[in-house]
Structure 1
């Protein structure tokens, strides 16, 4: 697959000019701009054909600077433009053919979404199927069913999940390797639901407003409040444990 330089939805992600990188190094580079990116997310994008890193004889992934730039572009289009992977893939293919492609306007997408209008390429399109989730998270059907039974993962429709499910699955798996079982995480899920409810109370009047600009502002306010609640939750956990995390 030919690789293209960063462009379109923002500035390029910094990456070394030469040499190949491990997936861990790539993760550190990308987290400067995308703090929530995970190894599972990178593997998932690879499984979707958006990147094709080299492989060593022993099977380890090795990424070039162009691979990292391409990953940055994909993540940026997801984050800033809410584009589904199908549209991103088509856009990259058009770039490789040297075609000029106009990306959707962010403001138009958000206004339509908050107004309740159907948006083909909006946030609701950022979803993955059950098989994709199983492959990206490296789990089997039985494990996924167990996690669903505790409310940790929820289908948005039959056999379809929000793309954030990949991150949740990875974190649940990591905690499990430390002896924290899914059943222990029900309280955490309940706390997250309560925090989300508080945010919804604040932004709901903005989303119902007749002014399209005010409705669009609700999206930014939601992200801001979500970030603040996550930081507060982390600080409270650190304080309760009496530890400082790097």
Structure 2
């Protein structure tokens, strides 16, 4: 376990033995055991852990989704991609993936955000006004702001402006409040494994909210075909 932690610590400084045991408990990794019952990790186990942690951190994928993908690979299937369009194998995190992940984690200045998304300064001001994107305390923007801004640039081509999108901010705030309320019974314990379970439960609840929203919209739009 100590050797695995040392291998992962540079890219995942928050990793702990409790987190790894939690992933094992959830069935995402299955290290061999010695006769004395000690865990015995191989290089493939370490690479698999790196893959799981990278997807959690950089793609915000729930463990359930990652596990379904890994289970399919373990069965000998060849799923084309993970949700979000990523096409990766679980044995390793490639150099190109690491570079892409680093780019996503790097916050952007206002001018970099404009350059990365094709937005105008006026659009950025409007997105800030309606709280669709936010600057951090040092005036930089995260990957979430990049995704939102790109979407809003596309919507602007259809005449949909930030002032029309304030309902999404309100809906997101209400959704977060519901999630926090739902996980209150789980949030009392502060150990790493409990925090991981709480975060995973929060993602699962959020996924269910998004599935309902998507289905409601799809159902309404399907009437346009008739």
- Normalised to the residue count of structure 2, the TM-score between the two structures is 0.54
Specify whether residues 173 and 204 from structure 1 end up closer, same or farther in structure 2 by C-alpha distance, changes over 3 A only: farther
Deviation digits for residues 58-106 of structure 1 (CA, Å, limit 9, x no counterpart): xxxxxxxxxxx5443445xx4xxxxx54xx9xxxxxxxxxxxxxxxxxx
- Structure 2 unaligned residues grouped into runs of 5+: 1-45, 53-79, 87-93
Where does residue 29 of structure 2 map in the other structure?
A: none
Q: Distance in 2 between matches of 1:200 and 1:128?
A: 29
Partners of 2:167 and 2:160 in 1: CA distance = 12
**Aligned counterpart, 1:10:** 51
For the residues of structure 2 that align with 1:36 and 1:186, how far apart are their CA atoms?
28
SS in 2 for 1:180: coil
Report whether the alignment pairs 1:72 with 2:97. yes
Q: Show CA shifts across 1:117-143 (max 9, x none).
A: xxxxxxxx6633323222211123222
**Equivalenced residues, count:** 145
Bigger Rg over Cα: 2
Corresponding residue to 1:197 among 177, 193, 196: 177
> Tell me, what secondary structure is at the counterpart of 1:242?
helix
Shift of 1:188: 2.1
The change in CA–CA distance for 1:34 and 1:71 in structure 2 (over 3 A counts) is farther
More helix by share: 2
Asked if 1 retains the 8 angstrom alpha-carbon contact of 2:118 and 2:153, the reply is no
Q: TM-score, normalised by structure 1?
A: 0.50
Matched, 1:212 2:189: no
| Cα pair distance change 1:157/1:204, threshold 3 Å | farther
For 2:22, the equivalent position in structure 1 comes to none
Q: Residue 238 of structure 1 contacts residue 244 of structure 1 at CA under 8 Å; is this kept in 2?
A: no
